[in-house]
Each structure stands twice: as C-alpha cells, then as structure tokens.
C-alpha cells in the first residue's frame, strides 16, 4: 500500500513537472497570439501586464493579501469578532517573556552581523593569498546547503553536556574544566545559539566579500605598496572604504535574518531557558496558545522592524548598480 501511495505521488509530481511548463508556455503563446490581433498600441500596453499576471497572482495571494489581513487581524480579539485597538500590541510590550524575546533578538541583531561579516571578511582576505582557496571556501560555505534542522542536530551534538559525547565539553574537561551546560546557562546560551547562526551564514558573507575583494583593481593596491604602505594600511585605507557598499549590503541582509530568526531557536531550545525570539513567540502564540490576534500583532511588529533595514538594503543595492 505504501508503494502505491509513493508511486501515485511520484506520478503526480511528474505530471506537474511536465504539464506546468507546457501550460505556462502555452499561456504566453496564447497571449502573444491574441495580442497580434489587436492594435499595436493596445498590444504594447497590455503585454507587460499579461506576462506579469501569473507572478502577480501568486504574490497577491501568498504575500500581499496575507500581510494586509494580518495587519487587520492584529487589531481584533482572539475570536476575531471584535475590535480591540492596540490591546494586542500592549500585551506584547507588557509581558516579561516577550520582552526577553525582544532582548534576545537585540543580541542576535548586534552579534550575528558583527561575527558573520567580521569572519567572512577575514576568511575572504586570507584565502585570496593561498592556492587552496577554493577548498577552504567550499568548507566554510558548505553549511549553507544543509537544513537548519540538520545543523541543530550537529550542534546539539557539539553542545551535549556529557563530556563523553559532546565535543566542546570534552575539550573543556580535557583541559581541566567542568562541563558547561552551553544551552542552559543564561544569558550566554543565546550566544551559543548565535554561534550556530554564524557557522551557517559566514560562507554567504565570505563569498560576496571575496568577489568584492577581487573586484578591487590590483594596480591601485600595487601603487600603494610601492609608495611604502604596509598591508594593514592598504587594507584600512583602500580596501575597506572600497568594500563598504558590499559590506553594507551583506550586513543588512544578516540583520534581517537576525530579526526573523526562527529555525535555530525552534529546533535547539524551542525558546526555553530564556532564549526565545520574536518569530518563535509568534509561532507559539498561534499554534500552541491559539491566540491569532496576538500572533498577528507580533508579526506586524516584526514586519515594522524589518522594513527600515530592508529600505537601506535596497538603496545600497541600487547605489551599487548605478555605479556598475
């Protein structure tokens, strides 16, 4: 029976993989055929919207409509039948637990970008000077390919209390210390969660910064060296300023991730021991406590925190593109 289910599923997946491209291509060909039969002006005006239609439909259903609906929902009560104004928001800022989650997100927002960009830059600079560059890059980059759940298994294994099992505690006891409860000791446990995030994301920063580094003209650097500047000066006075736009883009992307962080916390501690973060609080309010109004308010708060960072991010992107 199980095999039957599996093959049914595979069959329908195959059908989708073949049918969807055919349907979409057919749609475009149909659109073009129709447009050939109307005046050129009408065609030119209508064509972009017809090409955009499928994308806009999906975005409308899955992103735009829910955002508006959630904002509205955040002003309603638990059952959704009465307007309660800012009550849900007030609740959020008055609870000890949620305020701790806010504090933890602040930790993430400050330390994750700092460590990720710092390490990424360090590796990018160092690796540029050796021949086994691509091997090192692959190693640092690989965590990006695995799921957060798998990463949390890997790191729970590292953080395990029993020094006969946990790698880190084995090292600690090996040099004479006592085993550390990495994920329980507050507030340091937040930092050990952030380290998992660093392990996952540094490769991303490294790749972008490395590409940016290689884009700096060699002649410029050589000229500085000929003029007597040492490596540190070359780095601080020439490389760093030129790299700033790229660094800004990477940093803002990581900041957005830090605000939205969910998977690592959910799978490693589920927010216990004062490690909770906003996205996880929202999940808990929605699915564990059945409080959609409060969950909606939290989502809107999260959204509001991200928007300014995103605006900076997009502005930086466009600045860079204008320079290209």
Partner 1 sequence: MTQAQAPVLVGVEVKAQRKRRPSLGGIPVHLALIAIALIWAVPAIGLLVASFRPAAATNTSGWWTALVPPWDFTLENYQFVLGRAGIDQAFVNSFVITIPATVLVVMIAAFAAYAFAWMDFPGRDILFVVVVGLLVVPLQITLIPVLNLLRDFQPGGVRINGTILAVWLAHTGYGLPFAVYLLRNYFGSLPREVFESAAIDGASQATAFFRLALPMSVPALASLVIFQFLWVWNDLLVALVYLGPVPQNHPLSVVLANLTTSFGGGWQFLTAAAFISMIVPIIVFLSLQRYFVRGITGGAVKG
Site for partner 1 in 268-287 (CB under 8 A): 279, 282-283, 286
Q: Is residue 196 exposed (0-12), middle (13-18) or buried (19+ Cβ within 10 Å)?
A: buried
Residue with smaller CB distance to partner 1, 100 or 140: 140
Tell me: does residue 188 bind partner 1 (CB under 8 A): no
Structure tokens at 89: 């928001």
* Contact in structure between 91 and 294 (CB atoms under 8 Å): yes
Site for partner 1 in 70-99 (CB under 8 A): 70, 73
Binding mask of the shown chain, residues 244 to 263, with x at each position contacting partner 1 by CB under 8 A = -xx--xx-----x---x-xx
CB of 98 to partner 1, least distance (A): 15
Residue in this structure with the two tokens 């991730």, named with its chain if needed: 257
CB of 282 to partner 1, least distance (A): 5
| Count of positions on this chain that bind partner 1 (CB under 8 A) | 118
Distance CA 144, CA 140 (A): 9
Site for partner 1 in 97-116 (CB under 8 A): none
Residue with smaller CB distance to partner 1, 157 or 188: 157
Taking CB under 8 A as the binding criterion, the range among 87-95, 103-111, 134-142, 184-192 that sits at the site for partner 1 is 134-142
Site for partner 1 in 6-45 (CB under 8 A): 6, 9-10, 12-13, 16-17, 20-21, 24-25, 28-29, 32, 36, 45
CB of 197 to partner 1, least distance (A): 13
Distance CA 158, CA 148 (A): 15
Tell me: does residue 165 bind partner 1 (CB under 8 A): yes
Please give the C-alpha separations between residue 12 and each of 1, 25, 58, in angstroms, as whole numbers: 17, 20, 21
| Helical spans, DSSP H, in the chain | 2-36, 40-59, 65-73, 87-94, 96-127, 133-141, 148-159, 167-174, 188-214, 218-226, 231-234, 240-260, 263-268, 278-283, 292-323
């Amino acid at each position: 029976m199980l095999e039957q289910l599996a093959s049914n599923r595979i069959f329908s997946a195959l059908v989708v993989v073949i049918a969807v491209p055919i349907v979409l291509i057919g749609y475009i060909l149909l659109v073009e055929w129709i447009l050939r039969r109307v005046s050129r002006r009408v065609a030119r005006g209508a064509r972009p919207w017809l090409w955009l239609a499928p994308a806009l439909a999906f975005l409308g259903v899955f992103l735009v409509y829910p955002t508006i609906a959630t904002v509205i929902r955040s002003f309603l009560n638990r059952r959704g039948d009465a307007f309660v104004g800012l009550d849900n928001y007030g609740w959020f800022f008055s609870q000890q637990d949620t305020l701790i989650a806010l504090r933890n997100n602040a930790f993430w927002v400050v330390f994750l970008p700092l460590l990720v960009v710092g390490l990424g830059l360090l590796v990018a600079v160092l690796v540029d000077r050796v021949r086994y560059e691509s091997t090192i890059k692959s190693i640092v980059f690989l965590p990006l390919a695995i799921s957060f759940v798998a990463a949390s298994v890997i790191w729970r294994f590292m953080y395990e209390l029993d020094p006969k099992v946990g790698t880190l505690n084995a090292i600690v006891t090996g040099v004479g210390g006592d085993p550390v409860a990495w994920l329980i000791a507050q507030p340091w446990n937040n930092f050990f969660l952030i380290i998992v995030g660093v392990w996952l994301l540094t490769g991303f920063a490294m790749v972008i910064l490395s590409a940016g580094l290689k884009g700096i003209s060699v002649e410029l650097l050589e000229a500085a060296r000929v003029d007597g500047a040492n490596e540190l000066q070359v780095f601080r006075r020439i490389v760093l300023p030129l790299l700033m736009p790229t660094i800004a883009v990477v940093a803002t992307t990581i900041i957005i991730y830090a605000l939205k962080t969910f998977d690592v916390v959910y799978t490693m501690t589920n927010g216990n021991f004062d490690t909770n973060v906003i996205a996880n609080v929202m999940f808990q309010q929605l699915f564990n406590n059945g409080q959609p109004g409060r969950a909606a308010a939290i989502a809107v708060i999260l959204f509001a925190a991200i928007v300014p960072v995103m605006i900076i991010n997009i502005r930086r992107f466009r600045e860079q593109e204008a320079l290209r």
